[in-house]
Structures are given as C-alpha cells and as structure tokens.
Amino acid sequence: MDELTLTEALLSMKLGNPPSPGEHVVVDVDLVYLHDGTFTLALEVLRRLGAERVFDRRKVLLFIDHAAPAPHLAAATTHLAMRRFARKHGVKLYDAGAGISHQVVAEEALAGPGDVVVGADSHTVTLGALGALATGFGSTDAAVAMASGRIWLRVPEPVKIVLSGEPPGWVMGKDIALALLGALGADGAIYSSLEIRGPALKAISMDSRLTIANMGVEAGAKYTLFPVDEVARAWMEARGRKVKPLSPGVRARYSDELVLDVSGLEPMVAKPPRPDNVASVSEVDGVEVDQVFIGSCTNGRVEDFHAAARILRGRRVRDGVRCIAVPASRRVYMELLRDGTLEVLAAAGCIVAHSTCGPCIGAHLGLLAEGEVAVSTSNRNMPGRMGHRESKVYLANPATAAAAAVTGRIIDPRTLLPRGVRLMEV
C-alpha cells in the first residue's frame, strides 16, 4: 500500500483495487447535492429523460442557498419547485437560511473519506478537506447521478503539494490557497488531483483546510485532497463520524510536485480580474474600497469571523464603506451569536445577514455599481461577478477584509492585529 497516492487509496476504497490516472471508471455515488442555481436545469433533464426519481432518498440533498430567501420571482419559482420535489421524493431540503451547501455538508460531516460526492456546483471540491472524492458537475451529470446512483469518472493525475515550514500566527488558509493558486495559475491543475501534505499541516485548522480545498478548483483541480490525520480525525469524530487515519504512501508517485514554504508568506490578495492574479497585500496597499464582503463557502466559517472580529473589536467600519458579514451556515451563525462575535461585528457597523451565497455571486444583498471596488473573502473575482462588469473585486482573507472595512482601503492587517495572535484555530 505504500506506493499509493491518496487519490488512488481513496478510489480503491470504492473500487476494490487502485485505478491508474487517465482510466475511466464507473462508481457508485455516496451523495448528490444540488442548489437553487443548478436544480431547475437538472429537473428539466430528469423530466426529458423520463427519469424523475431519486436512487436513494437519503443520498440526495437540496439546498436553497444561492439567492435565498428569494430576492425576485424567478428565484421564488425555483425555490417552490425544489420544495415540491423534496416533498414528493422524500429528500432532505435545506431551505433558505440553513446555509451554503458545501459548508453544511462539511460541518455535519455528511461526507467522509473515500465518499464519492457529486455536487452540482464547482466548489464541491471543498469536501476534499475531509478526504471525500468530491467534485463539481453540471446539471445533466448531477441529474443522472441523482436518478441512477452511478457516475463515470476519469481518474485524475495526482499532484503533490507540500506545505513546509511553520505558519506565522496571522496566516490563514486563504493566504495559503492564494499563494498556491498564484504558483499554479488558473489552468495549472486542470484535471489534477491536488494532494495537500507536508509538515505544516498539523498547524492548519479544518476551517482553513476547507478554504484551501475550496479554491483548488480555481486552478482547475478535480480534487483537493487532505490526508485523514489527527486534526481531521478529531474534527470528524466530534461530528459523529468515525474514520481511520489515511495518508499517501511514502513511495507514491506523482505527475508533478510543488513545495510552498508557509513560514515566508505575506498576507495575500488576488487582484481583479482573476483569482490567480495573486499579489502580497503590500503590493496593493492603499487601494480605496467601497464594499467589503466577509462570507461565502470560502471564508464564512467560525475561524473567519473570529479573525475579522479581532480587527473590528472596538473599531468602526469607515464611513462610506459597506461591510457585509454573512456566516456560511446557521450553525456558524449560532456559534458566533453565542460567543459574542456577531455583536462585535454589528457594533462595528457591519451588516450582519443570514446565510446565503448572495453577494459572492452578485445574486442579492449588495451588488457593486459601475466603478466600485470591493474586498471579498470569496473565491472568484471575474468581471461582473459581484455586480457591474466595470466593478473590481480583490480577494483576501477575513482579517485583510476587516482591515479594509475599518480603514476604507487595502492595508496590511498585521498593522491592526494584536501581537502574537494566532488566527488559525487548530
């Protein structure tokens, strides 16, 4: 077994024996989920195929998370169809406010190591932090998986990503994700399975791993996989999922390798118009900001809002800046409510909203006007992503985003953070 990559080891849990990269295999699906952005098309496909059914009602989930609650009639119509479908087929629907699909599946540990997860959303890769073979598909593939419980896959080429060194206290998963993306480029990992490993891992929290896994797809990766180490095992067991440790074999062979020394990282940003347009925060120092968005499946977790609150506590969002804070799920929201974080955010002048994708995708809750500039903790900043096509989005970690909210411009968050603070909560 010590020559298997993590990808091969996980796939062989499914197939019985390890496949080779490039091979096409058919596998049973452990979980299929769709959201209000992709459901309608999938339902149309099911109807045209004459296969409006689900293979196993416990293995299909629906999420109303993209434009939720409905900001217009088109969304309301979609949501109604989803509620009807869920009732008719007895599948679980996470209605508006429950949370963003990837976050809910992760925090409830609804997927685990070796599970084949078909998500009708590109950021399904997020679940690779739990060792799930999780990736995004279009509506037709998702529809077919939902009806038949099977899907064909091309076995991806494994790429070894070594995180070396010791992360400085202010480094977050987002900085690592952006640094990796900058090194790989937006098409540097097309069809690859990124296997994240290395000595820095023991200091990297699950919240941050989910962020790193989430952004693998921005480089084109099919999977971003983390080993099932002590951090992951403890996290999943706290959520009622018993798992065995699993790491890549010592003699595993990779088609490529990248080493990132995290001890030398600066706070990172992605400049418009692409997520791989990566720079250190000092290179964009002083850029004036109209809106800040802290949230999304990339950075809407407890650790993220704790980091933002460290900056915002006792400070105010600057006049003329909107700071929109959106916990990624109700569970995150409740935890932040209980520990006082939401009060810190609200007292600082943030607009604290219910869970939704909303601003991340320009669906609702704060679109950008022509010429406006935003700092967002989400994963994409293509033209028009959050509003007008002549608006600009800088991607950053929640501390950098909060610092921009307070000062009205992009600034190194270390200047506002207490000394010796650790933002990653392992």
Partner 1 sequence: MALRVRGRAWRLGDGISTDHIISGKFKYQKARLEEMLPYLLHEIIPDFYRKVKPGDVIVAGKGFGYGSSREHAARLLKMAGVGAVVAMSVHRIFYRNAVNVGLYIAISKNVPPATETGDIIIVDLDKGIVGNETKGIYERLPPLHPIVKELLEAGGLEGYVASRGKLPWEADNLTSHP
Smallest gap from Cβ 257 to ligand SF4, in A, equals 28
Smallest gap from Cβ 33 to partner 1, in A, equals 12
Smallest gap from Cβ 88 to partner 1, in A, equals 20
Looking only at the bridges linking them, the beta strands covering 268-270 and 278-280 are: antiparallel
Closest CA to 126 of 217, 248, 220: 217
Residue 322: its H or E element: strand 322-326
- Contact set for partner 1, span 99-158 (CB under 8 A): 119-122, 135-141, 144, 148, 150, 152, 154
Smallest gap from Cβ 379 to ligand SF4, in A, equals 5
297 binds, among partner 1, ligand SF4, none (CB under 5 to 8 A by kind): ligand SF4
- Determine contact, residues 109/221, Cβ cutoff 8 Å: no
Query: CA 309, CA 421: separation in Å to the nearest integer?
Result: 12
- Determine contact, residues 124/159, Cβ cutoff 8 Å: no
From 225-233, 289-297, 328-336, 384-392, give the range in contact with partner 1 by CB under 8 A. 384-392
The torsion angles phi and psi of 378, rounded to 5 degrees, stand at -80, -165
Interface pick for partner 1 out of 249, 272, 349, 384 (rule CB under 8 A): 384
**Is 69 a residue that touches partner 1 (CB under 8 A)?**
no
Q: How many other C-beta atoms lie within 10 A of the C-beta of residue 396?
A: 30
The DSSP secondary structure of 234-268, one letter per residue, reads HHHHTTT-----B---TT---SEEEEEEGGGPPPE
Structure tokens at 112: 């685990």
Angle made by CA atoms 386, 387, 389, in degrees to the nearest 5: 110
415 binds, among partner 1, ligand SF4, none (CB under 5 to 8 A by kind): none
Smallest gap from Cβ 365 to partner 1, in A, equals 12
Residues 153-173 as b or e (16 or more Cβ within 10 Å = b): bebbbbbbbbbebebbebbbb
User: Site residues (CB under 6 A) for ligand SF4?
Assistant: 66, 100, 121, 123, 296-297, 357, 360-361, 378-379
Interface pick for partner 1 out of 11, 64, 75, 213 (rule CB under 8 A): 75
**Is 165 a residue that touches partner 1 (CB under 8 A)?**
no
**Is 83 a residue that touches partner 1 (CB under 8 A)?**
no
State the residues that interact with partner 1 by CB under 8 A. Answer: 20, 22-26, 37-38, 40-41, 45, 48-49, 66-67, 72, 74-75, 77-78, 119-122, 135-141, 144, 148, 150, 152, 154, 186-187, 190-191, 218, 220, 222, 274, 361-364, 367, 380, 382-385, 387, 389
